[in-house]
Structure 1
């Protein structure tokens, strides 16, 4: 049974039902769901539960029937058959199916089988990639179903989290995942790790007694805790306010499930190309049929001629070649720490012009680090191992002795802030092992969110000291003295102002400040007396620092026309400080918070979204809204992230990029690409590879279309003027599927152009024929076609007869067809060298730098020799061996397109803009 808020719109209800695999009864809840904006008593009253006893068994049973199990509901997965059928829904595939039917009707069974193999190969490659997709909901279900400790019938017990219902009293302790969304009713030093939901790199402190405004963002709801987050410190009790799909994680699952999949630019281009080629093939067939009718040819001959020309116009191997090139690209990128989950995503990367990135763990190291310290000796920047003054040494020592964290072998446990303090001590060469051996903790005053302080009582060789750390303004109120150049001096207003100014300067740099003080005492004393008459030592400033390599990567991205946008759950000042350091933003006006975003009209936000480079304190819904707004301007958007909260936006973006090390299973399941090194720089490298892969695909497409146009020109010209058919269907299929395909695949493996990142991103609607490629196809096709016509004519001429004479011996026609067949193949193979770059000479890029292409040309020529040299192959293809004059003519005519192309490149280079 589903419980629905009656204020849900019809569209929201429709969206929700899309995700339900099985029908379920439902009823409406009239109570609003903003429990964080209500007092504890109001929440308990609305949920009708006594916190001392919890729900009774009868009430629990009733609510379980109403609310159903506390688990996420996902879309029904497509079967392998459905995935396979989906791969066949493409115009180019439709055209190939028609070709299969026609060839079967003609009795050309071998040709039909070859085309079917091409179709099946393409579909299987697509299914193999997509079978791994759609795991986001399953991953959510895995991490969101822990055991839970609840109070029911007055007893505390551990239960399966699926049995939880709104109104259950949930008990929280350190190290336990939270099994549902709750409103806290008690808290004691409670801290919850929420980075996967909010993006914040440090645990959030929770306080049950707080009451928030209705518009408080998710990361600031300190009186609430959420499903799948982790208790890292303290304890608490809460009342369950939402389960299953109504939780914050459930809303994310719902967004993932409802996000409409869109075609990648490559898929759109190939689909458009397939439609164009299909219409062209039909048009050619009709035209030639009409021409042949007026020429008085036989009906069967007209049909065979039309089909032959249709076969010549369709690049049968295009779909399979594109899939193979993409697969090669996937393998290459995996060696560069980028795993591609869907083949078309490789090409889409090359079109990206906006990278939206989460901050924590993606642009930053997800590791709090002390970068500055301050004592009255002065301020000190911390970077690696260095020596400190005696005062800073004491500062580090005090931080270590007032800590519950551990850090050994680069692995830490405990609060990230305290771990950062231990590393700070290591950097100042303070021996923590010696401190642990010489000092013993005999008392403590635990951290409290009201005091914002923590104190420890340490005994060492009969001497007793109190060490206190916490917020600098709270600490100043507890201090009567200050450490100045190794001496304890009475604290003055000037001292306090100096420390507060230093704290302000650190805050301007988005540093989190933490002060420390100490005092010597005569012996053990009560906790409430520890934090009196303290001596202030100093303070440190810490931050989750940016990854060093990201700065250069952002510069490279900008140079390539790519805009970087930071989208984070962190605070605005912190986010902007990191963005400014990385070069993502240079003015605070470029930063926007969730509250500011939600206060804007949708039309205004969409119109101005490109002005903002930093979005702070955002919710998962905000991230999706930002991505969609950017896409509405025609941008190709990449979104990077690692948390559960990033999954919907990863799914909504053109390219979702998840972190492989720190990323959650949910983020990986929703992403198109996974970075195995969690390095933002790998994204820029992947974009460079994506651009080169697209260029290689474009080379393959242009080469195939040029070759097929040459075949069409050959057939069209000779048939229009009344000659015999120069190439039969079997010969055309051999050329399209074997001879053309070898160099086409080899072009797809061309080494990357080192200048590719100097170019601007391709436009979303840019066709394969942009940048003069259309003219290259036209000119190259016309040239190859006319050279083949000349070769066909020469076959007649060498025997002293005219191609207009239809009574000549069949052997002469066979010789002429062999000439046309060989010149067509030779000119195509040699022309593939010129296709590699439309401006650079083959000598500047290296004649043999693509060894695969060189091998393909040699192999292609060798296969041609086999076809005309082996008797049974000669008979199968209707060919014969050429004489010396014929071979000379084949080589001479075959090299013409390559030489002419190189001459045109000289002209292009001279007139190329500087």
Structure 2
């Protein structure tokens, strides 16, 4: 722990000399021993390896089984289609890989190309890869830190560490500070500088204590490589479904084949029948339909500022019940803003108030003229705190450029971390004004007077206590407080003379305010049963103030620091985590452990972030969400989704979209299973009764083609349910067939199968075959062809009609609106037309073993096709009436 050791002890431990640095020979030996100062990535998998990994899926096995069966049945076109579906899915999967590799590559690219070091007593510039432990490194403004460093000198040194610690303000460094706590968070280690952070102000010198993979940045790279990718809830459910379908297909084949042989039927004929049933049992287009629905969902979400990198992540969003969100830039505006100000003798004022006193105007002028920031072409330039002061003046028609022209600066005493203040001298009317801003307690120590109604009065203990009480009150609200003072002089003063016998003017409170729309989004998330958790590098009070305003937390007991979280055992973390809503001063490892603790409670967790420090937790979460504007390449590489507007509200919209997509996928899957079960029922009952199989394998594949494509896709892009965010998130353990889905699939399948068989019987009876002689009808007979055509049309049209009742499990077709999904209406029209073409065009009739029907029989056909829909709608009504009672 170098941060709790003196610089002399550190220099001795790493065997380095502060004055001369390392020798060239010693540096070379250390590089050979420790390796170059660079991040090492895992070896990338080959494209072939990734491709075969995509094929390692139960549903893919089922599809390949269907391809083999269609090949045996000499249906080569269908074999080719199924194989193409498998190959396309695998290709998509390959392109969605490389998350860890990309993230680590981005980390490597953040390494600085050059570093200033002392070698053999001389300062030289070397490639950062050549930096080694013990090197004395010189840091100045604008230069990246090349490795992890223990500072040994610092002069007004400030380093931007938000990418690593998550803190929104640059960290002030002090080489002479030594920690007494062995578990000081990264953001509080002010005598340390970390690899790939940026020096924004001042100067420093330090000794390298770790390089490459041993740095804090390297530790993050290691975590990224170790974190494994888990299956999404949808992938798990489809895997379960694939196993079930595989078992059903195999079982049905064996039963039917055995039953046929037992009845004395021809073995070859029964083998073809078994193949027909297997084809009926497997929804060949299921994987493709899911992929298409997800892809269309991704397209819709991209229009709502959410770019999804991995298709199944869309559905995962719909399952999320915990959102762990970064504060700065996501929940807040990432812009320091003055919200309140105070001058002695006046009430505390809000910036929104229009009328301000002369003292308050003078205070704003003083802040502007003692700041180095500016605004050019509406773009802020300079320190965020000083920019906030300049923008405050602009809100009250005080332009910095105008003021500086009227009162040009002639001297300044720069800010430093010891004094905690900055002073300037400006010329005005042949006189000079000194303006000093800084920490209120430090400022009051050099003031003799206070301004009241344009006059200076003695700064008594009572006055000072009142000002300090106001400062404390604002600090307790997590506001950053700055005071300002002035004095008049007839000459340009020395630095020391500037900051003596001043007149205190007033103070301001500033904060990075919440985004305006976020509060409503958090309220909506809570209605939807989603817990919102703030995770930030900022201090506990600052984090709680924002969390309270946004409705994330109600009391300080719901907040915990990363240091406090570290002290808990793994079991205590799991027990405690659901009671917490704010985590402050967290480290990268803390974030991962917080995500793991939530997941251990069977939560589905979304994690948002933008910095390098967020990357491991983004990858560990069920759905990692990176910021598109402020996000680093590392965070984007480790995430599943990127927000192009960096807005928390977009996450809530994406969750709503994800819920609707899951519901639509479920509709499509249950619809496909109902249809395929209908085919199984029709064939199984026919074999059981000793009748000829009413449908051929080619007919089944054709029906699957017209029902597994347009209607299923149309259901997959059904307009979303407006009340979806009033429901609780799905349980992680919830089956794909929960909430009556199994009964709906079975009911639909039985109704479709029975009506199909009834159509087959009616066709035979119309052709003069008595009910008792149905079993004697042979394939190829004229009566069989006509009856098979009726069954063929009923099976197809009933499935097309049935898709309408599948749009909502509770609401009727009329409530949902027949024409509210125009694509589904179009699918019905196209499907019916295609079916009529098949039975009406001669060469297609021969290919599918069908014939044209009489006009009167079309009435039978369409009436039978409507029965499953009508019965299902009646069942919905009965359920509704029971619920109402």
TM-score (norm 2): 0.98
Deviations 1:626-667 (A, max 9, x none): 000100111000001111111110000000001100111111
Answering whether residue 819 of structure 2 is matched by residue 831 of structure 1, we say: no
Match of 2:697 in 1: 729
SS, match of residue 785 in structure 1: helix
Q: Give 1:882-901 correspondences, 5 Å limit.
A: 882-901=853-872
Contact 1:740 1:829 in 2 (8 A): no
- Name the CA distance, whole Å, in 2 between partners of 1:385 and 1:179: 47
Q: Equivalent of 2:13, from 39, 46, 59? A: 46
- 1:177 correspondence with 2:144: yes
1:192-231 equivalences under 5 Å are 192-212=159-179, 213-231=181-199
Give 1:189 deviation, angstroms.
0.4
Q: 2:637 aligns with which of 669, 672, 681?
A: 669
Q: 1:385: Cα distance to partner?
A: 8.1
Change (3 A) 1:579 1:649: same
Question: What do residues 738-766 of structure 1 show as CA deviations (whole Å, max 9, x unaligned)?
Answer: 33321001101111111110111011121
2:371 to 397, 403, 408: 403
Deviation at 1:98, TM superposition (A): 1.9
Which position in structure 2 is the counterpart of 1:13? none
Aligned-pair distance for 1:106?
3.5
Please say if residues 794 and 862 of structure 2, whose CA atoms lie closer than 8 Å, have aligned partners that are also in contact. yes
Matches within 5 A, 1:322-721: 322-383=290-351, 386-721=354-689
Pick one of 278, 302, 318 that aligns with 1:310.
278
Contact 1:707 1:740 in 2 (8 A): no
1:77 aligns with: 44
Q: Which runs of 5+ in 2 are unaligned?
A: none
Q: Residue 484 of structure 2: SS of its match in structure 1? A: strand
Query: Quick check: 2:112–2:145 contact (8 Å CA) kept in 1?
Result: no
Q: How far did residue 413 of structure 1 move?
A: 2.1
Partners of 2:353 and 2:117 in 1: how far apart? 48
Q: Which residue of 2 aligns with 1:872?
A: 843
Residues 377, 389 of structure 1: 8 Å contact kept: no
Residue 857, structure 1, aligned to residue 828, structure 2: yes
Structure 1 portions without partners, runs of 5+: 1-33
Q: Map Cα deviations across residues 311-351 of structure 1 (whole Å, 9 max, x no partner).
A: 10010000000000000000000000000000000000000
Query: Of residues 83, 91, 106 in structure 1, which corresponds to 2:58?
Result: 91
**Paired residue for 1:100?**
67
Tell me, in whole angstroms, the C-alpha distance in 2 between the residues paired with 1:469 and 1:913.
Answer: 68
Aligned to 1:781, the other structure's residue is in SS state helix
Query: Where does 1:186-335 land on structure 2 (aligned, <5 Å)?
Result: 186-212=153-179, 213-335=181-303
Structure 2: how far apart are the matches of 1:882 and 1:437?
94
Counterparts of 2:112 and 2:61, CA distance in 1: 46
Q: Could you tell me how far 1:837 is from its partner in structure 2?
A: 0.5
What is the alpha-carbon distance in structure 1 between the residues aligned to residue 693 and residue 524 of structure 2? 55
- C-alpha displacement of 1:425: 1.1
How far the C-alpha of 1:383 sits from its partner, in A, is 4.1
| Superposition deviation, residue 912 in structure 1 | 3.4
Which whole-Å CA distance do the structure 1 matches of 2:75 and 2:322 have between them? Answer: 50
For the structure 1 residues 634 and 152, does the alpha-carbon distance in structure 2 shift closer, same or farther, using more than 3 Å as the test?
same
2:788 alignment partner in structure 1: 817
Report Cα offsets for 1:14-65 as digits up to 9, x if no partner: xxxxxxxxxxxxxxxxxxxx11111010111111111211111101110110
Q: Indicate the residue corresponding to 1:155 in structure 2.
A: 122
Query: Whole-Å Cα distance in 2 between the matches of residues 804 and 499 of structure 1?
Result: 102
**TM superposition shift of 1:123:** 1.9
User: What SS does the aligned partner of 2:44 have?
Assistant: coil
The answer to whether the 8 Å contact 1:146/1:177 transfers is: no
- Structure 1 residues 383 and 270, CA, compared in 2 at 3 Å: closer, same or farther? farther
Change in Cα spacing, 1:677 to 1:807, as seen in structure 2 (3 Å) is closer
CA distance in 2, matches of 1:913, 1:895: 27
Name whichever of 735-744 and 574-583 sits farther off: 735-744
Q: Quote the Cα distance in structure 2 between the aligned partners of 1:461 and 1:216.
A: 52
CA contact (8 A) 2:100 2:224 kept: no
Q: Secondary structure at the match of 1:518?
A: strand
RMSD: 1.4
The 3-state SS of whatever aligns with 1:207 is coil
Q: How many Å separate the matches in 1 of 2:420 and 2:90?
A: 61
In the alignment, which residue of structure 2 is the partner of 1:758?
Answer: 726
Q: Deviations over 1:278-312 (max 9, x none)?
A: 01111111111111111011111121111111110
How many angstroms does 1:393 deviate by? 1.0
Q: Tell me, in whole angstroms, the C-alpha distance in 2 between the residues paired with 1:411 and 1:531.
A: 32
Work out whether residues 692 and 778 of structure 2, in 8 Å CA contact, stay in contact via their aligned partners in 1.
no
The answer to whether the Cα contact below 8 Å between 2:21 and 2:136 also exists between their aligned partners in 1 is: yes
Query: What are the superposed Cα offsets for residues 143-183 of structure 1, whole Å, 9 maximum, x if unpaired?
Result: 12332111111111221111111111111111111111101
Q: Distance in 1 between matches of 2:424 and 2:102?
A: 47
1:575 and 1:913, CA in 2 relative to 1: closer, same or farther beyond 3 A? farther
| Deviation, structure 1 residue 600 | 1.5
In 2: Cα distance, 1:550 partner to 1:273 partner: 38
